[in-house]
Structure 1
Amino acid sequence: MADETNELTIMNLIMAGGNAKGASVEAIRAAKAGDFDTATAKLKEADGFMVDAHNAQTGMLTQEAQGNHVPVSLLMVHAQDHIMNAITFRDLAGEIVDLYQRLAAK
């Protein structure tokens, strides 16, 4: 059962990372179109997905700290890669939205 739980957590990490990146892309596209309300909403949506990912990671870290080893598989590495890319993309999307806002204000 632990393997099934870990697999579900890993898949949730992958989905959360993909959803966060997707919302970040939508934020950039909205800002490019001058729709800053939507851009802000999409950045907040991305943040929500990142919170989901963080909570899943925290659960796995807690398991590990309690002595319940969480096996590291290629799927786990893939999930962590998705999360790292989503974090980077979200950070850059925030900067790009800000840049579009500054350009629109001129």
Structure 2
Amino acid sequence: MDDKMIEISFGIIGFAGDAKGLAFEAIREAKQGNIEKARELIAESKEGIHKAHKFQTELIQSEASGNKTEMSVILVHAQDHLMNAMNFQQLAEEFIDLYERLESK
């Protein structure tokens, strides 16, 4: 695995991990009734996912141009992090909506 692939993989892992952490923090804030803060954290989380997705897009564009992507455990791990973070973020938004609804009753 070359240095560029390692950089891309760890870029995805780092940004996706941060995004998941922010989404988890957003749920905690919503649970405490801080809905506005929770929505701010989800917005930050989405920025992190966007940054991670840029790294992934770089891989896709490279492969579409005919450059075969060498698969490695690190790259698979990075993709796993990204997908888990995206799913967790979506669930966090649902939790925030639910807590907001409970607060309004």
Shift of 1:53: 1.2
Unaligned stretches of 5+ in structure 2?
none
Task: Give the equivalent residue in structure 2 for 1:79.
Answer: 78
- Whole-angstrom CA distance in 1 between matches of 2:94 and 2:83: 17
Residue 42 of structure 2 corresponds to: 43
Could you say what secondary structure the match of 2:61 adopts? helix
Matches within 5 A, 1:61-76: 61-76=60-75
The structural deviation recorded for 1:41 is 0.4
SS state of the match for residue 34, structure 1? coil
What is the aligned partner in structure 2 of residue 25 from structure 1?
24
1:94 offset after TM fit, Å? 0.1
Q: Secondary structure at the match of 1:72?
A: coil
Query: Residues of 1 paired with 2:86 and 2:11: CA distance?
Result: 15
Structure-1 separation of matches of 2:91 and 2:3: 34
Which residue type is aligned with residue 9 of structure 2? I
Number of residue pairs matched by the alignment: 105
Structure 1's unaligned 5+ residue stretches are: none
TM-aligned CA deviation for residue 37 of structure 1: 1.3
* Superposed displacement of residue 3, structure 1: 1.3
The amino acid that maps onto 2:21 is: G
Q: Paired residue for 2:10? A: 11
Q: What is the match of residue 97 of structure 2?
A: 98
